[in-house]
Chain A
Amino acid sequence: MYHGYNCVVPPDSVALHCAGLVKRYGAVTAVNGLDLQVVRGECFGLLGPNGAGKTTTIEILEGLLAADAGEVVVLGRRWERDAAALRPRLGIQLQETQLADKLTVCETLRMFRSFYPDGPTVDALLETVELGAKRDVWVVKLSGGQKQRLSVACALAGRPELLFLDEPTTGLDPQSRRQLWAVLERFREAGGTILITTHSMEEAHALCDRVGIMDQGRLIALGTPRELVRSLGAEHVVEFAVNAGPALPGAELGQLPGVREVRTDDRHTALSTSELHTTVPALLDLLRRHDATLSQLGTHSATLEDVFVTLTGRQLRDD
């Protein structure tokens, strides 16, 4: 299911291209032959659990890490030759950066803005990320969400063509997330390209035009969020659990009408189905025949999370 736009898209409109990317740390292979293409103007999400190789990948693309093998072309240029010309055209937000505690928001932005030959004014940046009211506050006194918005403002200081964001909303409350998404949405509307990593499927749904799902250093799925969900062939998931008793035969569950896939984890079972309205009554009948009592029953529309679970048999999040 490789949706690489390779043949369709003229080379000029490719913002980022990498092929055969490999990065090893000792015996561990963090990135294992990754191919990726991001088109200008799109928001591309790298989705995957912790340790999937997302950060390593994005840092190679950002020119901060050297790959062991593979080729990277960013905005038509290569890091080995054109780093100096490339830097001013990119905006980068790193996962673990802590900005200086005792500088104010405005001072921090002035410093970052001074590195770029061209870009919005400091005041305009403050406005973009809605931190105008906090301009004279020390960084250490900002909330998590405000810090992340400042971090994104620093990344926008050079009016980048391509913005790299590494888990920008991890650990933020829902409201702070949405505020940050709004900033990114505005950047996109103005024609910017975004490569974002996340382990939140909600974020990927909300922001991304296309998503690449990463696991163990490889891209295991690629497409728009809708395409990926549709590729399950089942747009609904029925989850249930039964009280103690004999285990339900998996084969019978798989033969229920509409069911495409059965996953069982201890007493919890998830059925992927294309027809919720026929699957659920049939399931209840089956349970009655086996004298099993439901302790839990729920349904939801299939998400990228389900795509990930289907592809790997594991949950996206550890928690």
Chain B
Amino acid sequence: MTRPPSLPDAPRLRRAEPSGASHPLVELTLARFREFLREPEAVFWVFAFPLIMSCALGIAFRSRGGEPVIAGVAEQAGADAIVGTLEAGGAFTVRRIPLDEIDRAVRDGRVPVVVIPGTPPTYRFDQARAESQVARLAVDAALQRAAGRADAFVPIQEPVQAVGSRYIDWLVPGLLGMNIMSTGLWGVGFSIVQARTKKLLKRLVATPMSRTHYLLANVLSRLLYLALETAVIMGFAWLAFDVRVHGTIAALGGLALFGALAFGGIGLLLASRARTIEAVSGLMNLVMLPMWVLSGIFFASTNFPDAMQPFIRALPLTALIDALRGVVNEGRTLAELLPEVGILTAWGTVSFALALRLFRWQ
């Protein structure tokens, strides 16, 4: 068999010299990473979006230590006396509410409780809202005391202001988890389906490229921007809200890695057969939606009924967020979070293996 012909510009002598290219896995990973960084929309969704989100939520839910309770008083005879009583202690911000607006004011959350003067007075409030309940108790105590009730004892008050126990401390790991999920799915799924529609996949399988390398590179390139993504989100939360990581940075990084691998694998699986961007977008939203709701990004997933808990625990986002909170808020180590890490690994491995089998290359 004759040797392959050499190109005139590339005499055989050059064989020993470096080809100018590295290992295919490195080249494929770098190519994906570069493509990502050169796509402004992708960069926005990965970096700017979670920052804007945590900023907005951090401000909305910032700890209002010692802030006055808002109370409404219905505009009718006797209102002045009640307003006077509540304002006297300085613990309330009082708003006068016209009679025909009482229901709307409570429903909209403009005032958590409305006192309707009378003997005895009426408290109108929303039982389903914790804030409403608290305001009712505070208003009741103030009015009772003014009417002559004596406290049986004066408790010692110890308000907790410790960093690490605020809502924002709890929220930031949730946002980080959510971001790892969405960028993992989008970052991997989108680019693969795009390569398929542009027939680039077909061109690649016409080379000796290893198919495993290609799929792996898509997941690995994710890890490069994952490092950036985690640093940006946690750095911002630290600077803007003083959110601290109580565990080690290594544990945080390790978890982010497991999370990214799990969602990278799921992204591959979702993209393995889709022919159009629309199809893969639909699939991704379908997969992400239950996790947005159930996995406890904004409120504890334990609020859902017990019967649903095993299912919720098995979701990769629940495992990731719970583990991230363990590291960030409670200073736990990876060894203590083995069940969560196990769940993430299982999702990553199974979906990667399935993707490799199902993948449509042309």
Contact = CB atoms under 8 A, between A and B. Distances in A.
Interface of A: 12, 40, 62-64, 75-76, 84, 87-90, 92, 94, 96-100, 102-103, 107-125, 127-128, 138, 154, 156-161, 186-187, 189-192
Given A98-B199, A160-B4, A192-B5, 18 more contacts: A12-B1, A88-B208, A90-B206, A94-B202, A96-B199, A98-B200, A100-B35, A107-B31, A110-B21, A119-B10, A120-B7, A121-B10, A121-B14, A158-B208, A159-B6, A159-B7, A186-B9, A190-B7
Contacts of B28: 111, 114
Interface string B81-110: 000000000000000000000000000000
Nearest to B17: A121
Chief secondary structure at chain B's binding surface: loop
B4 A159 contact: yes
A203 to B, nearest CB: 21
Nearest to A190: B5
Contacts of A75: 1
A190 B198 CA distance: 32
Interface centre among B17, B31, B362 (most CB of A within 10 A): B31
Interface centre among A76, A96, A114, A119 (most CB of B within 10 A): A114
Contacts of B14: 120-121, 124
A114 B22 contact: yes
A128 B1 contact: no
Contacts of A96: 199
A127 B7 CA distance: 11
For the complex of A and B, the 10 pairs showing the least CB-CB separation, nearest first, are A120-B10, A122-B20, A191-B5, A124-B10, A87-B208, A114-B21, A114-B27, A113-B21, A102-B38, A98-B198
Contacts of A87: 206-208
B163 interface: no
18 contacts: A64-B362, A88-B208, A90-B206, A97-B200, A99-B200, A102-B39, A111-B21, A113-B20, A113-B21, A114-B24, A116-B207, A118-B15, A122-B21, A124-B7, A158-B208, A186-B7, A187-B7, A190-B7
A120 B198 CA distance: 27
Given A103-B35, A120-B7, A190-B8, A64 B1 contact: no
A125 B24 contact: no
Interface string B183-198: 0000000000001001
A121 B20 contact: yes
B203 interface: yes
A128 B20 contact: no
B356 to A, nearest CB: 17
Interface of B: 1-2, 4-10, 14-15, 17-24, 26-28, 30-31, 34-35, 38-39, 195, 198-200, 202-203, 205-209, 362
Contacts, number: 140
Contacts of A159: 4-7, 10
B51 to A, nearest CB: 24
B127 to A, nearest CB: 56
A115 B31 contact: no
A204 to B, nearest CB: 22
A114 B18 CA distance: 11
B1 A76 contact: yes
Contacts of B202: 64, 94, 97
Contacts of B15: 118
B207 A112 contact: yes
Contacts of A120: 6-7, 9-10, 14, 19
A194 to B, nearest CB: 11
B188 to A, nearest CB: 15
A295 B268 CA distance: 65
Nearest to A140: B38
Given A107-B31, A123-B20, A159-B4, A128 B9 contact: yes
A161 B27 contact: no
B200 A121 contact: no
Given A189-B8, A190-B7, A191-B5, A94 B203 contact: yes
B5 A113 contact: no
Given A94-B203, A98-B198, A102-B35, A116 B208 contact: yes
A158 B207 contact: yes
A75 B200 CA distance: 25
Contacts of A97: 198-200, 202-203
B7 A100 contact: no
Contacts of B22: 110, 114
Contact of B206 (A94, A111, A121): A94
Given A97-B199, A120-B14, A190 B6 contact: yes
A132 B205 CA distance: 27
A13 to B, nearest CB: 9
Contacts of B31: 100, 103, 107-108, 111
B352 to A, nearest CB: 21
Contacts of A76: 1
B5 A110 contact: no
Contacts of B5: 159, 161, 187, 190-192
Contacts of A161: 2, 4-5
B335 to A, nearest CB: 38
B221 to A, nearest CB: 12
A128 to B, nearest CB: 5
